[in-house]
Structure 1
Amino acid sequence: MKIDPITLLFASIFTSNILLANFLGMCSYISISKDLKSSNGLGMAVTFVMTITTVANWFVYRYIIIPLKIEYLRYIIFIVVIAAVVQILEMIIDRISPSLYITLGIFLPLITVNCAILGVTLFMQLRDYSLVQSLFYGLGSGLGWWLAIVLLAAIRKKIDNAPAPAGLKGTGLTFITIGIMAMAFIGFSGMIRVQ
């Protein structure tokens, strides 16, 4: 597919945001977005994992899966690569920032099964992106996920103190906010969209 990598980067952040356009990776997005520091940490972790695994899985697909004709195992192999990268990241975060490691808790190892990360890898493979396109697509998708979770955390912090009907507080208001954010990002879709 002939898409400029820079265009792909910005499209995957805004108009084709993996979270707000495809709704992939919602579990940790909703759970962690209560706190801005945790959201920022998880956003960085997801961006790192998404970028590294998209490139790694590009190589694995091109140089192992296709030559060995084991396309039927690609989902399992992609998940193993993602799990390995997450395990390394988990050890690094534990050494560098124990407080962030404790704050992220179970959601750090659960990045392995974050459907947004597997989704980006599968979209990369289905759209037949080149290595450079895959790098920019993985990076852009991670930055888009990070932007969305930090925005939601900031909005949730503001609306926690706002007067709201009792039936809307908590989950109801969070879902309404996510819907409005998704519509706002769709407003960028006239610029460019990655299919």
Structure 2
Amino acid sequence: MEHIELFFKSIFIDNMVFATFLGMCSYLAVSKKVSTAVGLGAAVIFVLAVTVPINWLLDQYLLQPGALSWLGAEYADYDLSFLSFIMFIATIATMVQLVEIIVEKFAPALYNSLGIFLPLIAVNCAILGGSLFMQSREIPTLGLSLVYGVGSGIGWFLAILAIAAIREKIRYSQVPGPLRGLGITFIITGLMAIGFMSFGGMLTGGDDANEKKETPKAEVKIEKKEEAKEEVEKLATNTKEITE
């Protein structure tokens, strides 16, 4: 259940584009054609699915305070957290280089259409943001980090795919002059963000259920307190009568 909830939250509620506005440069620049958006989105999914778990391992067994305790007791006090950015970016750059080689080998047309934005995945803030959010949210297991990476990639993929499909249709629409180009794109992005964030109500039912379960206990505690007050008052009246 925890894996499923994290997966859907990373896609809809914590979407990299609509919730945190990360990766907007390539989101706006490579979303003019659906075919190009699909290629870049698939590359982002692959990079996030690989880099987030790898960076989780680096964070757990190398970077956190005391993470080197597996090497021996004398290393338990080491804190290498200041190397997080360098290590995360190095991992991301390595994976992006691998993706670039694969795309150039097997899909040269897609490689040419993506142009400079394919190697720029290495500096895409959405990719680094996935690893940093994984670290800040203290995701406990490797499996959950993989789920979070894949879900974040799918969320970014859906965002760029949707805006690319809409922008292809807008070409044949009568958009007012001042709103043509990035103006109408930002308006549509804002409306899509509202739509994605509306899924939050579907994934918070567990909190309401827990509150419902806890309310009877609270009522019982209040009743017990009232009974205790009544007993104290009775004792007070009895003592007054005895003294009189």
TM range (shorter): over 0.9
Q: 1:15-71: per-residue Cα shift (whole Å, max 9, x none)? A: 211111111110000000001100000000000001100011011111222325210
Does residue 113 of structure 1 match 2:123? yes
For 1:164, what is the secondary structure of its paired residue? coil
Which amino acid letter does the alignment assign opposite residue 62 of structure 2?
Answer: I
For 2:177, what is the secondary structure of its paired residue? coil
RMSD over aligned Cα atoms: 1.1
Aligned to 2:200: 189
Find the aligned partners of 1:124 and 1:171 in 2 and give their Cα distance: 31
Aligned to 1:60: 58
- Following superposition, the deviation at residue 192 of structure 1 comes to 2.6
For 1:163, what is the secondary structure of its paired residue? coil
Does residue 87 of structure 1 match 2:87? no
- Following superposition, the deviation at residue 72 of structure 1 comes to 0.6
- Following superposition, the deviation at residue 14 of structure 1 comes to 1.1
Residue 153 (structure 2) aligned to one of 142, 147, 152 = 142
Which amino acid letter does the alignment assign opposite residue 55 of structure 2?
Answer: N
Find the aligned partners of 2:44 and 2:104 in 1 and give their Cα distance: 16
Residue pairs, 1:22-101, within 5 angstroms? 22-66=20-64, 67=68, 69-101=79-111
Structure 2: runs of 5 or more not aligned: 69-77, 205-244
User: Structure 1 residues 107-116 or 182-191, which shifts more?
Assistant: 182-191
Structure number with higher helix proportion: 2
Find the aligned partners of 1:113 and 1:63 in 2 and give their Cα distance: 25
For 1:34, what is the secondary structure of its paired residue? coil
Aligned to 1:126: 136
Find the aligned partners of 1:107 and 1:192 in 2 and give their Cα distance: 34
Residue 163 (structure 2) aligned to one of 148, 152, 155 = 152
User: Structure 1 residues 145-154 or 67-76, which shifts more?
Assistant: 67-76
Residue 179 (structure 1) aligned to one of 190, 201, 204 = 190
Find the aligned partners of 2:198 and 2:60 in 1 and give their Cα distance: 36
Larger radius of gyration: 2
Structure 1: runs of 5 or more not aligned: none
Residue pairs, 1:4-19, within 5 angstroms? 4-19=2-17
Which amino acid letter does the alignment assign opposite residue 127 of structure 2?
Answer: I
Aligned to 2:174: 163
Normalised by the length of structure 1, the TM-score is 0.95
Find the aligned partners of 2:162 and 2:182 in 1 and give their Cα distance: 16
Normalised by the length of structure 2, the TM-score is 0.76
Find the aligned partners of 2:152 and 2:112 in 1 and give their Cα distance: 26
Find the aligned partners of 1:146 and 1:184 in 2 and give their Cα distance: 16
